[in-house]
């Protein structure tokens, strides 16, 4: 990759001259760091990369990346990014969004990006709260959440974002966590390699309005017991000694296996055609089971923009027509 045209990239090359203005201690800083690390590792060229965001704390992201960036309007980033990618498939197009932006006001664009398999890499910072508007419950907040707009606890049931994306036909679905820098960087690299829509849900701590949302499984002392690393071709094992596993019954209901039953642990296949195991993991109770991170699903499927531009290419080769030809169509007549 090293040449005059494609110089080796370093993390600092992606930094802009703008001061980063997230709250001190915000999980967004470590995500920015991981993205810059992944981009440097992948040798992404500044001018070939476009980052499009919606509205919210996370959507300030483009201002901090020395690439092309477009900070758009609430929820619409996938729609704008679709226009960018569909009209110029050579661009490397990333969407940065939050759980309010993507799951609530932009839910429609999110599911349709998944359905079409547009070549977008969508990073959704999920802090399970509205941060920029100062702390209302989000569509990913747990039921009963007490916030400024739900003093008696929210009545809403939350989305399971990976399950939503899976139902919408997503072809690459992964999850990582802000504080797991190496895992996050690796996950971003995997998303980048995918053809079609890649969706990465990133658990991100909002230390102002929802501090400790993920503490129950991310704190160092509980992490090994509470986090399940999905590894392609490996059994679903967790615990410091990998002495516990996840198995499924005939209805794809998960249960924990230990001891002699450990061999029953399900062998993870991220490329499986059936969405059932991924759906089971995406919807299993956070209280009863460990929280899965890694790649839930990775399926090869032609990308939307390839099909769209492919039709144009074929049509151009099959039919040559000038504007004059076009105007002269139908029944024409001359007046002398």
Partner 1 sequence: MDNANSTTAGLEKGIQDLDQVVIRFAGDSGDGMQLTGDQFTRTTALMGNDIATFPDFPAEIRAPAGTLPGVSAFQLRFSSFDIHTPGDAPDVLVVMNPAALKVHLKDLKKGGILLLNTASFGALDLKKAKYEKDPRTDGSFAGWRVIEVDLEARTQEALASSPLDNRAKDRCKNMFALGILYWMFHRDMEPTIKNIAQKFAKKPEIVDANLAVMKAGHAYAETTEIFQTAYRVPPAPMKPGTYRNIMGNQALSLGVVAAGHKAGLQMFLGTYPITPASDILHQLSGYKHLGVVTFQAEDEIAAVCSAIGASYSGSLGITSTSGPGMALKAEAIGLAVMAELPLVILNVQRAGPSTGMPTKTQQADLMQSIHGRNGESPVCVIAASTPSDAFDVGYEAVRIALKYMVPVIVLSDGYIANGSEPWLLPDPDKLPEIPVHFAPEGKPGEKFMPYSRNPETLARPWARPGTKGLVHRIGGLEKQDITGNICYDADNHQHMIDTRAQKVANIANDLPPIETIGPRTGDVLVLGWGSTRGAITAAVTRLQKEGHKISCACLRHLNPLPKDLGDLMRGFKRVVLPEMNKGQLASILRDKYLIDVKSYSQVNGQPFKSHEILDYLTKSLSASQKEVQQ
The least distance separating partner 1 from the CB of residue 53, rounded to whole angstroms, comes to 8
Output 21 or 148, the one with its CB closest to partner 1. 21
Of 34-42, 158-166, 229-237, 309-317, the segment contacting partner 1 by CB under 8 A is 309-317
Could you give the CA distance from residue 92 to residue 89 in angstroms, rounded to a whole number?
A: 8
Q: Which of 37, 69, 139, 254 binds partner 1 (CB under 8 A)?
A: 69
Q: Does residue number 320 form part of the binding site for partner 1 (CB under 8 A)?
A: yes
The least distance separating partner 1 from the CB of residue 120, rounded to whole angstroms, comes to 11
Output 85 or 121, the one with its CB closest to partner 1. 85
The least distance separating partner 1 from the CB of residue 198, rounded to whole angstroms, comes to 18
Q: Does residue number 109 form part of the binding site for partner 1 (CB under 8 A)?
A: yes
DSSP 64: G
Burial class (CB in 10 A: 0-12, 13-18, 19+), 3: exposed
What would the DSSP string read from start to end of 185-205?
Answer: HHHHHHHHH-SS-EEEEEE--
Output 231 or 306, the one with its CB closest to partner 1. 306
CB 161 within 8 A of CB 140: yes
How large is the C-alpha radius of gyration of the chain?
22
Q: What are phi and psi of 259, to 5 degrees?
A: 55, -130
Q: Does residue number 91 form part of the binding site for partner 1 (CB under 8 A)?
A: yes
The least distance separating partner 1 from the CB of residue 80, rounded to whole angstroms, comes to 4
Output 120 or 129, the one with its CB closest to partner 1. 120
CB atoms within 10 A of CB 124: 24
- First CA to last CA distance, the chain: 65
The least distance separating partner 1 from the CB of residue 222, rounded to whole angstroms, comes to 39
Q: In the structure encoding, which two tokens stand for residue 155, read together?
A: 């009545």
């Amino acid at each position: 990759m090293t040449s005059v045209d494609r110089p080796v990239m370093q993390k600092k090359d992606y930094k802009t001259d703008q001061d980063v203005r997230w709250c001190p201690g915000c999980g967004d800083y470590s995500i920015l760091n991981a993205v810059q690390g992944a981009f440097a590792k992948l040798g992404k060229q500044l001018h070939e990369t476009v980052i499009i965001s919606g509205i919210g704390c996370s959507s300030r992201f483009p201002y901090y990346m020395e690439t092309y960036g477009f900070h758009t309007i609430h929820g619409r980033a996938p729609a704008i990014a679709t226009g960018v990618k569909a009209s110029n498939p050579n661009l490397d197009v990333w969407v940065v969004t939050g759980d309010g932006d993507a799951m609530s006001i932009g839910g429609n664009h999110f599911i349709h990006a998944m359905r079409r398999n547009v070549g977008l890499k969508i990073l959704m910072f999920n802090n399970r709260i509205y941060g920029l508007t100062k702390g209302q419950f989000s569509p990913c907040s747990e039921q009963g959440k007490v916030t400024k707009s739900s003093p008696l606890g929210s009545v809403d049931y939350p989305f399971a974002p990976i399950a939503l994306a899976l139902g919408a036909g997503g072809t690459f679905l992964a999850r990582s966590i802000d504080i797991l820098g190496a895992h996050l960087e690796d996950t971003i690299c995997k998303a980048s390699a995918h053809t079609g829509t890649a969706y990465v849900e990133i658990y991100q701590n909002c230390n102002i309005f929802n501090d400790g949302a993920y503490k129950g499984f991310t704190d160092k002392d509980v992490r090994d017991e509470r986090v399940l690393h999905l590894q392609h071709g490996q059994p679903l094992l967790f615990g410091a000694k990998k002495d516990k596993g996840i198995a499924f019954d005939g209805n794809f209901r998960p249960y924990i296996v230990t001891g002699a039953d450990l061999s029953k642990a399900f062998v993870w296949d991220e490329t499986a055609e059936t969405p059932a195991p991924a759906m089971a993991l995406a919807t299993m109770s956070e209280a009863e089971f460990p929280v899965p991170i890694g790649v839930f699903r990775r399926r090869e499927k032609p990308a939307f923009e390839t099909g769209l531009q492919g039709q144009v290419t074929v049509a151009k080769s099959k039919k040559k027509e000038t504007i004059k030809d076009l105007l002269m169509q139908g029944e024409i007549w001359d007046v002398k």
